Chain A
Amino acid sequence: MTRLSGVSPAELRPGEDAIERFERELGAVQATFARSTPETLARRIVEALREVGARHVGLTADLGGGRRALVEALRAADIEAVHYEAAAPSRDALRAMDATVTGCVAAVAATGSIITGERAGRAGALIAPTHLCVVERERLLDGLSQALRVIAGSGSSMLALQSGPSRTADIEKTLIMGMHGPKAAHVVLLDGRLDEA
């Protein structure tokens, strides 16, 4: 239990289940939540991307050993799949992406957040209208203070904490999704490791 438990709303309460809370908070920030095993991961991702009609998908390097299988599955489903870092230098390639798939450095159960590092690209999680993040089970942390302590030692040049899709309420307080970043944010909790996928 983290030191701010019971004091900060960004921490788990004593005895609270991390996965249940994660799912609830993702719902509260208008992100979707699904669970998967390594065996079903590629199929799940293909289904989700088909559903939004994605044609050009960027996959980031933090998917590690799992990326190859995902790229193959997407191509087999007739969806163009590119490595984000290969596409990033071209503004046109960035513009063409209608979805990105990333891993994450950590996820925060209490706030429904994911944290991506530079390997996901600074803009990787928000350049396209749809973002799908794979969270390996062991990366799901209880609360914000624990997550910040874990990443404090990472020496990363950039860490991005995000909770749900991009939003604005600037016009008469009407909430609109997808102001600049994704209109839709999907999180898949993976019971296992990406390199098993």
Chain B
Amino acid sequence: MSRSDDPLVGTGFRDRSRAQLGQPFLRQAIPRATDHTIAALHDRFADVDVAALRERGRRIRAETIRDLDAHLETLVAAFERNGITVHRAADAEAARGRIRSICSAAGARRVVKVKSMATEEIRLNPALAADGLEVVETDLGEYVVHLDDDRPSHIIAPIIHKTRQEVRQSLSRVAGRELPDDTAELTGFARGQLRDAFLSADVGISGANFGVAESGTVVLLTNEGNGRMCTSLPRVHIALMGIERVLPTLDDLAVMLPLLAGSGTGQLLTSYVSMISGPRREGEPDGPEEMHVVLLDNGRRALLGGPFEEALHCIRCGACQNVCPVYRQVGGHAYGWVYGGPIGAVLTPLFRGFDDGGELPQASTLCGACDDICPVKIPLHDLLLKLRRVGGGRAATRRERAAATFWAFLWSSGVGYRASIAVGRLGLTLARVLPARLRRGPVLARWAAGRGLPGRGGRP
């Protein structure tokens, strides 16, 4: 993607953060929502050897990425055996081009979408809209984001930054009348709207949580069920899959599904797991006539074999955001691009370049909470440190220097007092930030596999 057609929002992390910090709801909503997820996570994993499970997860991701091309080759062959048309896209523009031409060949007018960070990454919706297509996001949160011409602010919970009142206003605009101030009613209204969309769309577009090489299967996870609706009812299904999302076997999937669901939402499994191995076959009652997978590189392959390869292990569960003291204060929009929190601070400079994202690795206290929660044990804070070094060497721009004093800014802004108690360390101690029950509980210690909580050694 050329940089100019998708600039990072705002003028830098500091300015964006200032805007976010001015929203009282946001500063309560994120800790409340994320604490809830973290607590559920620890309940679900209370009586198993979760350290062993995470280690398996790490090993699966590391071994797969180390040999990515071989696994991709197997995956592509299996997809094609299953009647799936495979497209390879080197960058965002190529991916958009592919998807646009599939839609136009299908004579599509209306497209339904499943929430997908990859389609956000390539800014697909504006491109489809420019072609005259009606694009409907079908995840409730993403639907509201789209109505408001906003951006998602969390990998898993896209409208974590919005109040019910704001959602009510957006949906009332669609309804042409004042909808009641009631979550069930609002949800019911959206259900009706979106059901019409599912039943009348020509094309369904999804991401892919995983692509299983042994069986040629696209795996798609949603709690709402919109993933299944989008990929079952329209005539054509297009899945946009980052090349790093490959898993060699279904056995690997048995490890990754509970890791992802647990870390993402505190569930044992996501409510709906669709395992799609091709379009509808002769004699089957429903399903798309055509299925396409677009494999997206967009900067991923360049990381192979280098110091940042581990960034490709990420399964986009969002847990590192939930525990990050910086994210919890400023929210996802402050990061300026699609991925926020620690993994966003790693991916943005790597995918978008240091001119755009070079300041983001500074937006971390290096407290290590993200390392301890990551289900596949990505050493996020090592990656952030390495990025600081690389970024610093490239260009210590004015913006980066400004970002380096972010913590000073937080202090002086008054709101920072609660957040920024840097006790003789590089930044916060996690113990100040996490809810009390997690600090105490033996479960988190087990999750963290003996690393212990940063700051637990007697510091407040």
Question: Least Cβ distance of A164 to chain B in Å?
Answer: 6
| Of A40-48, A63-71, A116-124, A186-194, the one with at least 4 CB within 8 A of chain B | A116-124
Sorting the interface of chain A by its residue count into under 10, 10 to 19, 20 to 34 or 35 or more gives 35 or more
Which positions 266-293 of chain B face chain A at CB distance < 8 Å? 267-281, 284-287
A152 contacts B285, C-beta separation under 8 Å: no
A160 contacts B271, C-beta separation under 8 Å: no
B187 contacts A181, C-beta separation under 8 Å: no
A149 contacts B251, C-beta separation under 8 Å: yes
B298 is an interface residue with CB less than 8 A from chain A: no
How many residues from B make CB contacts under 8 Å with A? 75
Given contacts A7-B49, A170-B159, A176-B184, A123 and B233 within 8 Å (CB-CB): yes
**A-side contacts of B281, CB under 8 Å:** 118, 157
- Which of A8, A162, A163 lies at the interface centre, i.e. has the most chain B CB atoms within 10 A of its CB? A8
Whole-angstrom CA separation of A176 from B189 in the bound complex? 13
B interface footprint on A108-130 (CB within 8 Å = 1, 0 otherwise): 00111100001101111010000
B232 is an interface residue with CB less than 8 A from chain A: yes
Whole-angstrom CA separation of A167 from B296 in the bound complex? 30
B254 contacts A126, C-beta separation under 8 Å: no
**B-side contacts of A181, CB under 8 Å:** 224-225, 228-229, 272
B158 is an interface residue with CB less than 8 A from chain A: yes
**A-side contacts of B198, CB under 8 Å:** 180
A94 contacts B199, C-beta separation under 8 Å: yes
Which positions 92-150 of chain B face chain A at CB distance < 8 Å? 138-141, 144
**A-side contacts of B279, CB under 8 Å:** 157
In-complex Cβ contact of B53 among A7, A158, A174 (8 A): A7
A interface footprint on B64-105 (CB within 8 Å = 1, 0 otherwise): 000000000000000000100000000000000000000000
**A-side contacts of B262, CB under 8 Å:** 9
A170 contacts B215, C-beta separation under 8 Å: no
B303 is an interface residue with CB less than 8 A from chain A: no
Whole-angstrom CA separation of A10 from B287 in the bound complex? 29
B445 is an interface residue with CB less than 8 A from chain A: no
Which positions 1-35 of chain A face chain B at CB distance < 8 Å? 4, 6-10, 13, 25, 28-29
Question: Least Cβ distance of A98 to chain B in Å?
Answer: 13
Whole-angstrom CA separation of A29 from B144 in the bound complex? 26
Question: Least Cβ distance of B319 to chain A in Å?
Answer: 15
A61 is an interface residue with CB less than 8 A from chain B: yes
Given contacts A166-B223, A167-B223, A160 and B158 within 8 Å (CB-CB): no
In-complex Cβ contact of A7 among B52, B162, B224 (8 A): B52
A123 contacts B191, C-beta separation under 8 Å: no
A163 contacts B158, C-beta separation under 8 Å: no
Which positions 29-55 of chain B face chain A at CB distance < 8 Å? 29, 32-33, 36, 44-45, 47-50, 52-53
Whole-angstrom CA separation of A113 from B44 in the bound complex? 16
Interface of A is mostly: loop
Question: Least Cβ distance of A100 to chain B in Å?
Answer: 11
In-complex Cβ contact of A160 among B36, B157, B251, B275 (8 A): B275
A80 is an interface residue with CB less than 8 A from chain B: no
Q: A9-B268, A121-B285, A161-B274 are in contact. List 20 more A-B contacts (CB 8 A).
A: A4-B255, A7-B48, A7-B49, A13-B47, A13-B48, A110-B268, A118-B280, A118-B284, A121-B232, A122-B287, A123-B232, A123-B286, A124-B286, A158-B274, A158-B277, A163-B269, A166-B223, A171-B183, A179-B140, A181-B225
**Can you list 17 A-B contacts with CB-CB less than 8 angstroms, sorted by A residue number?**
A7-B52, A8-B255, A95-B195, A110-B268, A119-B285, A124-B285, A158-B277, A159-B275, A160-B275, A161-B274, A166-B223, A168-B224, A170-B141, A173-B33, A179-B190, A179-B223, A180-B225
CB-CB nearest 9 A-B residue pairs: A181-B225, A122-B232, A85-B285, A145-B254, A170-B141, A179-B224, A166-B225, A161-B273, A123-B232
Spell out A's residues near B (CB within 8 Å): 4, 6-10, 13, 25, 28-29, 60-61, 84-85, 88, 91, 94-95, 110-113, 118-119, 121-124, 126, 144-145, 148-149, 151-152, 156-174, 176, 178-182
